[in-house]
Amino acid sequence: MIDDSAPPHVRRWAIRVEFDGRHYVGWQRQKSGLSVQQLIEEAAYRVAANRPVSSITAGRTDSGVHAAGLVAHLDFPAEANITAKAVRDGINYHLKPHPIAILEAALVPPHWNARFSATWRRYCYTILNRPARPALLDGTVWHIRQSLDLDAMQQAANYLIGWHDFSSFRAAACQARDALRTLDELSITRQDDKILIHTQARSFLHHQVRNMVGTLALVGSGQWPAERVKQALEAKDRCKAGPTAPADGLCLMDVGYPENPFDPS
């Protein structure tokens, strides 16, 4: 088993982050383009008096995907005598003017790991379902003009809940060893002219949520019967499922742990 504990010369801090993903190549550092990870590590470097700070995240969001509650951990040098308030406010100061904010920070034990200690991830996908294009919500929703049938979409979604081989809903570039996952929730609700698709699982495959949403949209628009989603799932073939929904509407809402690291009690 890999030991992901913090070495003795660092102190590990958990952070909860929100960001507008439109401006970045995603969370993870890339050879080209600006990433959320790069900006946070550079800001933390300044807070740590120009000493390197490394990070690990609970979820590597793709380019254009947003976050309301992504969790990561930062390994600060142990001699950096800082508080949770200093971590939050200091990093936020150095992140300006980027639309990235640290919401909370908490000191965690050396063995705590933002990725491997997590027990679930929760996403919300937002569809703007009206004839008029978005103005205020542009870049944060998938705009579908045609009216969608929520009952049919939920019927189709129910086929995906539970333990399955999600090969039909994983990206070709997915690096997971297998496509076996347990989907705990896939619920669809309407709020005025917005359709919200909430989903939760211990972990997701690359593009799994967006591929599920793209498939459910075919059902909602009447192009597919709900039962065809079950057939697509059983085919274990990406070509049998629907298109990948745009990144704009996807937001990582929260990450769960056996003990909430941000709970002051």
Numbered residues of the known binding site for substrate: 123
Alpha helices in the chain (DSSP H): 36-47, 84-95, 150-158, 208-220, 227-235
In SS3 terms, 32-90 reads as CCCCHHHHHHHHHHHHCCCCCCEEEECCCCECCCEEEEEEEEEEEECCCCCCHHHHHHH
Measuring CA to CA, how many Å separate 175 from each of 31, 36, 192, 220? 18, 21, 38, 30
Q: Which residue has the tokens 């102190």?
A: 11
The span from the CA of 212 to the CA of 166, in Å, is 10
Question: Is the preceding omega at residue 99 within 30 degrees of 0, hence cis?
Answer: no
Q: Say what the alpha-carbon torsion angle 141, 120, 265, 67 is, to the nearest 10 degrees.
A: -20
Among 153, 150, 140, 145, residue whose Cα is nearest residue 129: 145
* Sequence ranges of the binding site: 123
Q: How close are the terminal C-alpha atoms of the chain, in Å?
A: 31
- Is 107 in contact with 92 (CB distance < 8 Å)? no
3-class SS at 183?
strand
62 tagged catalytic: yes
Q: Which of 20, 62, 89, 254 is catalytic?
A: 62
Active site members: 62
